[in-house]
A and B are shown apart, each in its own frame.
Chain A
Amino acid sequence: MILGTHRAPSDLGSMEPGTHLCALEQGSARLDRVAATFVAQGLAAGDQVLYIASEQEVGELLRVLPGNLDARQAVGTGQLMTSSFGDAYGSSRPEDLATVADGFRAAAGLARKRGFPGLRVAARMDPLADLLGSFDEVVEWERMAGGLQRELEVSSVCLYDAGALVEGQGAALASEHDGLAPDLDVPPIATFLAVDEPWGLRVTGEVDVSNRDLLHRMVQSRAAVVPRLRLDLAGLTFADVGTVARLRSIAAALPDSGYLVLAQVPAVVRRILDATGLGHDRLRLEP
């Protein structure tokens, strides 16, 4: 973390939306690793993640993403999107930063429309200096991007190859960000992945006070698009009563035509439901 930054995240999973991170690493391999960590944690937290990178860099990311994230399914549901630098930012210098802002705004809106609680972006930034013409313009861009992302609550990591920077440039870039992205991947205790057919999500791992807000915001984001959803709990190994009670509240607040199906319900959730009687007509257990 950079000293003096006030928005540096303690972990990527529960990072405050709108956090603008950067990575200044020597060489592509290290940048690949930081990108994979950021993308993996964003997907596990249920957010949509956009990776802006070359075809080769995207291929490398898909190769190193942990197996439990099922990168192919994440691409299939659109939870993980990839884009080349040119497609994302254009091939000529943008006349007006406002058009870039509009692009960001549209992407964030689309993420919510597709049932994701938020959008995170990881971008390889090395082509940016060529596009904008000078390093000073890059710094200017980052300042604009930081403010815009806070406003739109889009978190990002800007990935720079430190080998291509001259002295002083790294510090100048870092000061336009909220902190440095970690390259050490501490796997989250649960992952929440979108499922399209049937509409809903798949939960694996353990859900408790440390991460149940992530689950609930994702369930609510999915329910906001289609209020009939299925939670595949086959991989859920623990949940506490606060998690189950909130799922019941979400189901109770759905419209009459809505429902929340709990599928492959593990013993611990049945135990909680039996003991507390926290049932609801719209909270259905699939046998």
Chain B
Amino acid sequence: MSPSATHTSMFYGTDRDYAAEAGGFLRDGLERGHRTLVMAPPSRTELLRSELGNDADEVTFVDDSIAYAPQWNAYRVLLDFAAAAPDVRSCVIAEQRFGRRTPAELVDYRRLESAINLVFAEHPVDLLCPYDTALPSDLLDIAVHSHGGMRRGGSVAANPGFQDPLAMLTDLSAVAVPPVGSTTLDCTQHSDVALVRRSVRARGAEIGLDADVVADVVLALTEVLTNALLHGSPPALVHLYDEDGMWVCHVQDGGGPPVDVLSGVVPPAQPADHGYGLWLARQLVSAVDVGSNPTGTHVRLHTRRP
């Protein structure tokens, strides 16, 4: 048994394929005394329950509408599950329903599947991500490039398409330039954060977002802007614009310490006074881009437009 994590994808075309492959993965785990967790849509969960029979009682099921709401929450579900019995290996099935995805959300999903290789590298966990072969090619592409192994017919083979996660995350952190016509708010003093909130609330209501959604955006933006004021160099700017169906709140500061590609993908391990900002932002909006270059540190918060 390897002490480190494995991250494996599998393709299925029919319910029967799915039940046999994913069910076999769980049964193998149970036979070895591993703990088992399934984060999946209800339709998949039903297939696994009937495939496993009484053995299904040993499995923890979490509905994808909870585990992936938002998608970065899946890391916390995983961490919490692993923390309950840190010395026992876990077998985890991770799959979410894919409705309409904007380009920004797709990029963030690619990050999620890539970063998991690094975040959980030292955890005793075997992750299996089932992909329906009927999914669009850009999603199947993620299955091919982000998983170290591929499961087929009950056995796992090394995946020749696997790409170095750090290199992929670095590629995905390229800085985007705010488009011409953006509204830009200047924020140099701590007292400016309240003024920015007021403008963003007004703008959110104007474009027809629900009050709850606006409240989440305002909180996420406050966190990112606070980081910029405390850790970046002035001035901090907030650019507001639309892009590919998303409303973007883009925070740019004058630069600071280099940003780790994994910053804010998991919460602080212990309760702390600091360190929640970026992680909380990922829990509140549809997608978050983080990058830095000589123009400064850039964080983009994406919200679906109504």
Contact residues of A with B, CB < 8 Å? 11, 189, 206, 208-210, 238, 240-242, 245-246, 248-249, 252, 267-268, 271-272, 275-278, 280
User: Across the interface, do A271 and B216 meet the contact criterion of CB distance under 8 Å?
Assistant: yes
Q: Which residues of A contact B53 (CB under 8 A)?
A: none
Q: Which residues of A contact B239 (CB under 8 A)?
A: none
Besides the contacts A238-B219, A275-B284, what 19 more A-B pairs have beta carbons closer than 8 Å? A11-B191, A189-B194, A208-B222, A209-B193, A209-B229, A210-B190, A210-B191, A210-B193, A210-B194, A238-B218, A238-B222, A240-B226, A241-B276, A245-B276, A252-B271, A272-B280, A275-B280, A277-B267, A280-B271
**A–B complex contacts, Cβ < 8 Å, 20 sampled:** A11-B191, A189-B191, A208-B193, A208-B226, A209-B226, A209-B229, A238-B218, A238-B222, A240-B222, A240-B226, A241-B223, A242-B226, A245-B274, A246-B273, A267-B212, A268-B215, A271-B219, A271-B284, A272-B219, A280-B271
Q: Which residues of A contact B191 (CB under 8 A)?
A: 11, 189, 210
User: Across the interface, do A275 and B283 meet the contact criterion of CB distance under 8 Å?
Assistant: yes
User: Across the interface, do B280 and A242 meet the contact criterion of CB distance under 8 Å?
Assistant: no
B272 within 8 A of A: yes
**A272 vs B222: C-alpha distance in the bound complex, in angstroms?**
13
Q: Which residues of A contact B215 (CB under 8 A)?
A: 267-268, 271
B197 within 8 A of A: yes
Q: Which residues of A contact B205 (CB under 8 A)?
A: none
Contact for B271 among A206, A240, A245, A268, CB less than 8 A: A245
Shortest Cβ distance from residue B61 to the other chain A in the assembled complex, whole angstroms: 21
**A241 vs B264: C-alpha distance in the bound complex, in angstroms?**
14
**A11 vs B229: C-alpha distance in the bound complex, in angstroms?**
19
Q: Contact mask B86-121 → A, CB, 8 Å, 1/0?
A: 000000000000000000000000000000000000
Q: Which residues of B contact A206 (CB under 8 A)?
A: 194, 197
Counting contact residues on chain B (CB < 8 A from A), the size range is 20 to 34
Q: Contact mask B179-217 → A, CB, 8 Å, 1/0?
A: 000000000011101100100000000000000100110
**A206 vs B194: C-alpha distance in the bound complex, in angstroms?**
8
Shortest Cβ distance from residue A44 to the other chain B in the assembled complex, whole angstroms: 14
User: Across the interface, do A276 and B267 meet the contact criterion of CB distance under 8 Å?
Assistant: yes
The main secondary structure of chain B at its interface with chain A is helix
Contact for B273 among A11, A249, A275, CB less than 8 A: A249
B259 within 8 A of A: no
Which B217-231 residues have a C-beta within 8 angstroms of A? Answer: 218-219, 222-223, 226, 229-230
Q: Which residues of A contact B277 (CB under 8 A)?
A: 241-242
**A125 vs B216: C-alpha distance in the bound complex, in angstroms?**
50
Closest 7 A/B residue pairs (Cβ):
A210-B190, A241-B276, A209-B226, A210-B191, A189-B194, A275-B283, A245-B273
Q: Which residues of A contact B194 (CB under 8 A)?
A: 189, 206, 208, 210
Shortest Cβ distance from residue B220 to the other chain A in the assembled complex, whole angstroms: 10
Q: Which residues of B contact A248 (CB under 8 A)?
A: 271
